[in-house]
Structures are given as C-alpha cells and as structure tokens.
Amino acid sequence: MISQPYQLYVERSDALRNMARYYAMDISLTLFGQACLTRRWGRIGSRGQSKLHIFENEQEAVSLFLDILRQKRRRGYSPTPQRHAD
C-alpha cells in the first residue's frame, strides 16, 4: 500500500519560443502490489507520451519521483492546476 499520494503536474511556457509543455507523474500500485511510477509529458493540450516504471518497493519509486521533480524545477517547470487533453 502506498503510504501517501504522490502526484505532480507542472508546466513550462515561453511565448517567445512557442513553448507550452506539461509534465505529470504519479505513483500507484499494480495488481501485484508493486509500486508503479507513471510519467506523462508533451505539449499542453495534446495527449503527449507516457512511460511506466515498475519497482519492487515504494521507496525506489519515490526516489525517482523526487529526482525527476528536482530536474524539472531546474528547467523552469512550475506547478499549475492540471488540464485535460482533448
């Protein structure tokens, strides 16, 4: 069982560079009780891409979650209310 919810949605926009990106992550459990980190990213308003990472324990998933969060903050992403792709 996941000890607490881990969810993140951040955006990075720059009108001068025609940049409008989003990045989303969450940690959940698989049917087999493993921790699953789901990452989604792309242009705001698009479906984008996704990737799943499966871990034997929650600590490994949280470690990667926090590493990616630090990386995105350094690149200028900031938290915003989540939008849904059409």
- The residue extents of the domains of the chain are 6-79
Q: What percent of the chain has pLDDT over 90?
A: 84
In this structure, the number of other CB atoms found within 10 A of the CB of residue 55 comes to: 17
- State whether residue 10 is helix, strand or coil: strand
Pick the more confident residue, 11 or 4. 11
* Bridge partner list, 20: 13
Chain-centre distance of CA 75, in angstroms? 14
- pTM of the entire predicted model: 0.84
In sequence order, what are the residues at sequence separation of 6 or more whose Cβ sits closer than 8 angstroms to the Cβ of residue 39?
23, 24, 25, 50, 51, 52, 53, 68
Please give the class, per CATH, of domain 6-79. mainly beta
